[in-house]
Amino acid sequence: MEPILFVIFGAIAVGGAIMVVTRRHPMASALYLILTLFAVAALFVLRQAHFLAAIQVIVYAGAVVVLFIFVIMLINVPVHKLPVERVTGLRFLGVLAAGLLILESAVLTRRFAMPRASAVDAGSVQAVGKALFTDYLLAFEITSVLLLAAVIGAIALAKKKI
Amino acid sequence: MMEPAAYLLLSGILFGIGVVGVVARKNALIILMSVEIMLNGVNVAFIAVGSHLGDVTGSVFAFMVMTVAAAEAAVGLAILIAIYRLKETIDITELNVLKW
């Protein structure tokens, strides 16, 4: 069952990602980004990472993309003033390099082999929560400082007059 | 459960699509979204290998990546708003004040 679902959700994720980078209007891109994020969340469920799947939907689709849509509506660039994309030599080279990157990952993962561990519950809320509040407590607490800095920085940058 | 090779390939494809978006687009909003796609591709690799090895570290690292992604989106969009207020454009090729 897993291979079929993997192909379905993987195709949705890749198709959504391609639509994100090819749409002209950022609002269409943001909506396709939601599609990609949900497909990736489904892939997390396939790998038994239930906690991360929930966080993916709540934090990414629920907060980050909403932030994007807020900003798109806030600055509201008229369609005729959207940047016109032209194919230049440098840009073509960049796309070529990205294609090579994909090809390289295909070659590298073809012979990927790793010993399989005994089946343990590694992605459940219980397991991740226990790890976060014991072994990784310091990193988890520093994360809160990072988020605080991001909140203060975002307000300071976007405010008209401080 | 499947071998993680297919997931790693998918992760590479998502990352590559994100790179295309970052290098080929002019719209700063879409560039920020492409960065999110790249970070998601990395998360797929973390989760795939983590669950294959039965190790919770993969999930913890993906969690940290998501936190950084949220912080990056917040600050990046705030910078974008500040730039738009100043220059009335989100075209990154027109933002070349620091370019020599």
Within a domain: residue B13? yes
Total number of domains constituting chain A: 2
**In this structure, what CATH number is given to the domain that contains residue A42?**
1.20.120.1200
How high is the pLDDT of residue A107? Answer: 86
Confidence of residue A15 (pLDDT cuts 50, 70, 90): very high
Within a domain: residue B100? no
Residue A31: list chain B partners with CB under 8 A. none
The complex's ipTM works out to 0.92
What pairs with residue B91 in β-bridges? B27
Distance CA(B18)–CA(B41), nearest Å, equals 9
Domain termination residue (choose one: A55, A82, A109): A82
Contacting A residues, span 88-117, partner chain B, CB-CB under 8 Å: 91, 94-95, 97-99, 101-102, 104-106, 108-110, 112-114, 116-117
CA A152 to chain centre: 23
Within a domain: residue A54? yes
The Cβ-side half-sphere exposure at A118, using a 13 Å CA radius, reads 0
Neighbours of B57 (CB within 10 A): 15
The Cβ-side half-sphere exposure at B7, using a 13 Å CA radius, reads 29
A17: nearest CB among B1, B37, B62: B37
Residue A52, domain extent: 1-82
Confidence of residue A121 (pLDDT cuts 50, 70, 90): confident
pLDDT (tens digit per residue) in B54-80: 888 889 999 999 999 999 999 999 999
How high is the pLDDT of residue B68? Answer: 93
Within a domain: residue A93? no
pLDDT (tens digit per residue) in B7-41: 999 999 999 999 999 998 889 999 999 999 999 99
Report CA torsion sign: B4, B9, B14, B18: positive
- Averaged over A134-160, what is the pLDDT? 91
How high is the pLDDT of residue A119? Answer: 63
Cβ of residue A141 closer than 8 Å to a chain B Cβ: no
Q: Max alpha carbon distance in chain A (Å)?
A: 58
Distance CA(A5)–CA(B7), nearest Å, equals 12
Confidence of residue A111 (pLDDT cuts 50, 70, 90): confident
Provide the terminal-to-terminal Cα distance of chain B, rounded to the nearest Å: 54
Inter-chain touch A40–B63, beta carbons under 8 Å: no
